[in-house]
Amino acid sequence: MSSQSKGVLTGNEALVRGFYEAGGLVAASYPGSPTVEVLETIKSYEGVYAEFSTNEKVALEVAIGGSFTGARSMAVMKHVGMNIASDPLMTFTETPIRGGFVLVSGDDPGMASSQNEQDNRLFAKFANMAILSPGNSQEAKDYTKLAFSLSEDFQLPTLLNITSRVCHSRSVVTMGEREEHAPTGFDLDPVKYAMIPKNTYQAQYFMKDRLEKLQEYAYDCPVNQLEEKDGATILVIASGLMYYNLKEIDPPVSIYKLGLTYPLSIKRIKELSEQYDEIIVLEEMMPFIENELKIHGIPCSGKSYFSFTGELNSEEIAEGLYKAGVLKKKIDRAEKTAAVARPPLFCSGCPHRPIFDILKKSKVKIMGDIGCYSLAAQAPFNGSSSIISMGASIGITKGVQKALALKEDPKPLVAVIGDGTFFHSGIPGFINLLHQADDKDNLTIIILDNRTTAMTGGQSNASSGHYNLADDMNIDIESLIKTIGFKQVVMVDQFKYDEAKKVINNEIKRPGISIVIATRPCALKYKIKEPHFYVDPSICIGCRSCVNTNCPPIRMKEYKDYDKLKSSIDANMCVGCSICAQVCPVNAIKRSESD
Ligand code: SF4
Ligand code: SF4
């Protein structure tokens, strides 16, 4: 895209443009919604080093290394990724910044695709960072550039706090020129950068001092703007998307729009509070700004009118403003049309399906993990009792097993974990399994090695190179697991259904710890399309065993000349994995001659 042109970009694409124009050189990420597209977009720009790292902690460390060398660097992650990255983050933020450093946190109000809804503004304050909160694509670009310059000017890492609606919605963006910021080299002063106790005490004062300077800057910072309305007695403080949603309603209030949401200029807001009868803070999720004002003795309200959870659209904001007495009339909510419920399904030919079909039939308790296979938690498989966070299934299963053993209630337990999650944070859990292992333990861990990070769209991970040489890592999980010290390790081809079923059931019965590695690749990333299957209605007895495998192309239908419903397969959707044919008790499902 040429400079000075305009384009319609998503928030994610626009922040990448900001990174590029700011002279960004190093970017690292772990894929996760709502920010997965950021790194994918950066890869289309030349002259930038970009990688999907093994997890968010490593991504942060790669970006820290870039910044230590004077390169403008960015780490990108979804909100829960900050939990993984927080260990290096909390110490990195004690050091001065060389190359501008931006941490992008994609927060997910309403949990559209996340296991929780955490407000990472709190995390950034905890870590002594500045926070910028863009509300549309132009701001995503402009604030990214500003984030780099604030980072260098005030010597602190900056959090770009972007929410899922802003990441994915599109608006017009004006492009600019790329600035050049060459790396300065790696010659750090250990007193400032080696965070041993002798040096960290001084670092506490350094952090305090730089935040106070930034607070002074916030007084008339260009991205904090007052919009006064004639006769208004109420001031609403809003940032990010909330400002734009508020503007749609156009209430009789003045607005103080915050682009720099931390630190706040308390001096400026105190002055404003003297001009208005009331201050209302409008923000999604936690009462972050509201609490900041209250801590500093500025009377205000906010969460008493607006929901503490979920997204706040214009209707919800209007309802809150009515409760607050700002709007005199209740705004009629648009009639909600009932959308047809369409629960997410495993894809056609997904290799996870036969595993969960086998486990469902074995009636064993399963601890799930984060990945596509978390879909198995819902009907018809009901195949995971718990899903907490990346890699957690292994430690949790061990704890359950040990607690049950104390109750003298030994039960076989199964944990499932994908390859991406295994590399992300599963490996320490596996190592810990061998600690105080007991022959009476009965754990079967199934590693669903589909060779990609499938849930976020098929990004490569450490074992993807097996199928695609361009993916340059091909770590062999079996060798790694054996090297850790596991003796009972078996490989299964889950498309050989009966064989896989026998192996898995044997391992579930076997006392001790068994590792089963399921070896089929993701059906979407590595499309291995075989001739499709079809149902011969003259043989089908309508038992629904095939339908119960829950593959999207299969359904029961009426056939001419048959009273009973029989199975059928949509040839256009079938990828020919053969699982349905293998579970059919009467061989009514056959492979077509060609596709
Ligand atoms: S062969 Fe059967 S299970 Fe496999 S994709 Fe086709 S319909 Fe689905
Ligand atoms: S499993 Fe076989 S017999 Fe049963 S419904 Fe499917 S095609 Fe028909």
The whole-angstrom separation of Cα 50 and Cα 28 is: 6
Ligand 1 centre to CA of 547 (Å) is 10
Percent of the chain with pLDDT over 70: 97
The whole-angstrom separation of Cα 75 and Cα 58 is: 10
Burial string for 470-501 (b: 16+ CB within 10 Å, else e) reads ebeeebebbebbeeeebeebeebebbbbeebb
- Give 31: exposed, middle or buried? Use CB within 10 Å, 0-12, 13-18, 19+: buried
Query: How much is the CA Rg of the chain, to the nearest whole Å?
Result: 27
Identify the CATH number of the domain defined by range 351-519: 3.40.50.970
Percent of the chain with pLDDT over 90: 85
Single-letter amino acid code for the residue at 528: I
Contact 353, 579 (CB under 8 A): yes
Residue 579 Cβ inside 6 Å of ligand 1? The answer reads yes
Ligand 1 centre to CA of 448 (Å) is 19
By three-state DSSP, how is residue 446 classified?
strand
- Among the bound ligands, the one closest to the CA of 557: 2
**Known binding-site residue numbers for [4Fe-4S] cluster:** 540, 543, 546, 551, 574, 577, 580, 584
Contact 267, 146 (CB under 8 A): no
Alpha carbon nearest to ligand 2 atom 1, residue = 584
| Residue from 345, 356, 533 whose mutation best tests the ligand 1 pocket (most atoms within 8 A of CB) | 533
Ligand 2 centre to CA of 585 (Å) is 7
- Among the bound ligands, the one closest to the CA of 580: 1
The pTM of the whole model exceeds 0.85: yes
Per-residue pLDDT, 334: 67
Residue 576 Cβ inside 6 Å of ligand 1? The answer reads yes
Q: Which residue ranges make up each domain of the chain?
A: 5-218, 224-324, 351-519, 533-591
The whole-angstrom separation of Cα 507 and Cα 516 is: 8
Burial string for 547-575 (b: 16+ CB within 10 Å, else e) reads bbbbbebbeeeeeeeeeebbbbbeeeebb
Identify the CATH number of the domain defined by range 533-591: 3.30.70.20
DSSP label of 538: T
Supply φ then ψ for residue 284, to 5 degrees. -80, 160
Question: 556 - beta bridge partners?
Answer: 567
Question: Is it true that the peptide bond before 31 is cis, omega within 30 degrees of 0?
Answer: no
Per-residue pLDDT, 477: 97
Question: 262 - beta bridge partners?
Answer: 131
Ligand 1 centre to CA of 523 (Å) is 11
The number of C-alpha atoms within 13 Å of 198 and in the hemisphere containing its C-beta is: 4
Map tokens 């209630």 to a residue. 409
Map tokens 């001790």 to a residue. 512
| Residue from 574, 583, 595 whose mutation best tests the ligand 1 pocket (most atoms within 8 A of CB) | 574
- Among the bound ligands, the one closest to the CA of 569: 1
Q: Would 351-519 and 533-591 be classified into the same CATH topology? A: no
Per-residue pLDDT, 115: 86
Q: Please state the atom number of ligand 2 nearest to the C-alpha of residue 587.
A: 2
Residues within 6 Å of ligand 2 by CB:
535, 540-546, 567, 584, 586, 588-589
DSSP label of 119: -
The whole-angstrom separation of Cα 76 and Cα 119 is: 16
Per-residue pLDDT, 527: 73
**What is the CATH T-level fold of the domain 224-324, as seen in this structure?**
Rossmann fold (3.40.50)
Q: Please state the atom number of ligand 1 nearest to the C-alpha of residue 552.
A: 8
Q: What's the Cα-to-Cα distance from 111 to each of 45, 77, 106, 390, 584, rounded to whole Å?
A: 31, 15, 11, 16, 39
Contact 183, 47 (CB under 8 A): no
Low-confidence ranges of the chain (pLDDT < 50): none
pLDDT (tens digit per residue) in 268-317: 999 999 999 999 999 999 999 999 999 999 999 999 999 999 999 999 99
The whole-angstrom separation of Cα 559 and Cα 574 is: 20
pLDDT (tens digit per residue) in 74-109: 999 999 999 999 999 999 999 999 999 999 999 989
E-only strand ranges, 149-306: 158-163, 170-174, 225-227, 234-239, 254-258, 260-262, 278-282
**What is the CATH T-level fold of the domain 5-218, as seen in this structure?**
Rossmann fold (3.40.50)
Contact 552, 579 (CB under 8 A): no
Single-letter amino acid code for the residue at 306: F
H or E element at residue 10: strand 6-10
Per-residue pLDDT, 144: 98
The whole-angstrom separation of Cα 97 and Cα 95 is: 6
| Residue from 549, 559, 564, 566 whose mutation best tests the ligand 2 pocket (most atoms within 8 A of CB) | 566
Map tokens 């920010």 to a residue. 35
H or E element at residue 501: helix 497-509
- Among the bound ligands, the one closest to the CA of 566: 2
